[in-house]
């Protein structure tokens, strides 16, 4: 048994960079390795390690070795699959096309995101002054909260809307047999959506309000409010990030919405697969029948 384990270990070790060395001249310069005659470059390796930062050079070297080993093993297996003709199968063609489309769409989004300039310090200062409830007068709301733990019926959501008190809400949920949890919670204006904070501040005292988040329907009532100022350079950095995020969302919305709207105008469907028409949106026309 011990020999079998050793043999297996040797076989698996051939997947390790340290165990298997190809013959021929060692790569140099911008080429970090060759697999079956195909190069893995410094650019390839850096792309795989994107986003990873290390203060310790030894930790960086260890991470780089692990990433490079994964790249080598992946290349070996990919070349073996090509040798067996798997890259010519219909299933592979479908998967390749889908992944290529996803990558192109992701790259387009990244291009739009990268085009949004960083806000200036004066813009961050102005934003903080315009939103005192998040910064100088940062509000932290104590909340009596009901979480409807199942996907709510739209009719139930509509019925909850006009209710003024938590007892009325509880009576309705109980009558409808809805599953829910009632517990105290906190809404911190610093991390909440600024639009939610603005809406909360406009409510009459103890007004019941609702919103959906993380897949649950939340019914809330503010029971107390305290002020904990959020100031200094950390607040400036946070305001800068908020502005950048909002502008990025707006830029993505404009760009992608325009592209999708124009692109859909040229889409034609097989009548059997025509999507159901959404309220307020014109359906895309089915493709005309082929000429006889």
Residues 78, 201: one domain? no
Residues 219, 236: one domain? no
Residues 222, 144: one domain? yes
Residues 70, 126: one domain? no
Task: For residue 281, tell me if it sits in a domain.
Answer: no
Cβ neighbours of residue 32 closer than 8 Å, sequence gap 6 or more = 40, 41, 42, 44, 45, 68
Tell me what pLDDT residue 280 has: 59
Tell me what pLDDT residue 288 has: 54
Per-residue tens of pLDDT for the chain, all 292 residues: 444 444 444 444 444 444 455 556 788 788 989 998 899 998 999 999 887 888 888 998 999 999 999 999 999 999 999 999 999 999 999 999 999 999 999 999 999 999 999 999 999 999 999 999 999 999 999 999 999 987 777 888 889 989 989 999 999 999 989 899 999 999 999 999 888 999 999 999 889 999 887 778 899 999 999 999 999 999 999 999 999 999 999 999 999 999 999 998 898 888 888 888 876 555 555 555 554 4
Task: For residue 150, tell me if it sits in a domain.
Answer: yes
Residues 131, 234: one domain? yes
Domain of 175, CATH number, reads 3.10.50
Tell me what pLDDT residue 232 has: 96
Residues 178, 73: one domain? no
Tell me what pLDDT residue 283 has: 53
Residue 220 lies in domain = 139-228
Tell me what pLDDT residue 274 has: 87
Residues 203, 241: one domain? no
Last residue of a domain, one of 175, 208, 228: 228
- As for how many domains the chain has, the answer is 3
The tokens for 152 are 């709510």
Residues 202, 253: one domain? no
Tell me what pLDDT residue 116 has: 95
Tell me what pLDDT residue 18 has: 47
Tell me what pLDDT residue 13 has: 42
Residues 236, 198: one domain? no
Residues 7, 49: one domain? yes
Residues 199, 214: one domain? yes
Task: For residue 276, tell me if it sits in a domain.
Answer: no
Cβ neighbours of residue 122 closer than 8 Å, sequence gap 6 or more = none
Task: For residue 149, tell me if it sits in a domain.
Answer: yes
Tell me what pLDDT residue 4 has: 42
SS (H, E, C) the chain: CHHHHHHHHHHHHCCCCCCCCCCCCCCCCCEEEEECCEEEEHHHHHHHCCCCCCCCHHHHHHHHHHHHHHHHHHHHHHHHHHHCCHHHCHHHHHHHHHHHHHHHHHHHHHHHHHCCCCCCHHHHHHHHHHCCCCCCCCEEEEEEEEEECCCCCHHHHHHHCCCCCHHHHHHHHHHHCCCEEEEEEEEECCCCCHHHHHHHHCCCCCCEEEEEECCEEEEEEEEEEEECCCCCHHHHHHHHHHHHHHHHHHHHHHHHHHHHHHHHCCCCECHHHCCCCCCCCCCCCECCCCCC
| Number of other residues whose CB lies within 10 A of the CB of residue 135 | 21
The model's pTM: 0.66
Task: For residue 65, tell me if it sits in a domain.
Answer: yes
Residues 181, 64: one domain? no
Task: For residue 288, tell me if it sits in a domain.
Answer: no
Task: For residue 156, tell me if it sits in a domain.
Answer: yes
């Amino acid at each position: 048994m011990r020999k079998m384990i050793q043999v297996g270990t040797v076989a698996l070790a051939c997947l390790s960079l340290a165990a298997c060395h190809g013959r021929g001249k060692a790569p140099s310069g911008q080429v970090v390795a060759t697999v079956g005659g195909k190069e893995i470059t410094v650019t390839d390796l850096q792309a795989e390690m994107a986003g990873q930062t290390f203060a310790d050079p030894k930790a960086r070297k260890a991470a780089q070795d692990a990433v490079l080993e994964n790249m080598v093993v992946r290349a070996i297996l990919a070349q073996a699959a090509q040798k067996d003709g798997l890259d010519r199968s219909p299933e592979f063609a479908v998967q390749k096309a889908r992944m290529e489309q996803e990558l192109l769409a992701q790259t387009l989004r990244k291009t739009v995101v990268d085009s949004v300039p960083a806000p200036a310090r004066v813009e961050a200062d102005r934003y903080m002054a315009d939103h005192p409830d998040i910064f100088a007068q940062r509000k932290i709301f104590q909340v009596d909260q009901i979480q409807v733990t199942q996907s709510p019926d739209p009719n139930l959501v509509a019925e909850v809307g006009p209710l003024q008190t938590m007892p009325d809400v509880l009576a309705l949920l109980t009558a409808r047999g809805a599953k829910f949890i009632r517990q105290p919670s906190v809404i911190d204006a610093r991390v909440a959506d600024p639009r939610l904070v603005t809406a909360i501040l406009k409510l009459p005292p103890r007004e019941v309000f609702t919103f959906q988040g993380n897949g649950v329907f939340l019914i809330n009532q503010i029971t107390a409010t305290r002020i904990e100022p959020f100031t200094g350079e950390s607040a400036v950095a946070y305001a800068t990030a908020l502005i950048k995020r909002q502008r990025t969302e707006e830029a993505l919305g404009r760009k992608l919405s325009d592209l999708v709207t124009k692109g859909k105008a040229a889409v034609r469907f097989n009548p059997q697969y025509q999507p159901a028409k959404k309220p307020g949106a014109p359906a895309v026309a089915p493709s005309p029948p082929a000429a006889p």
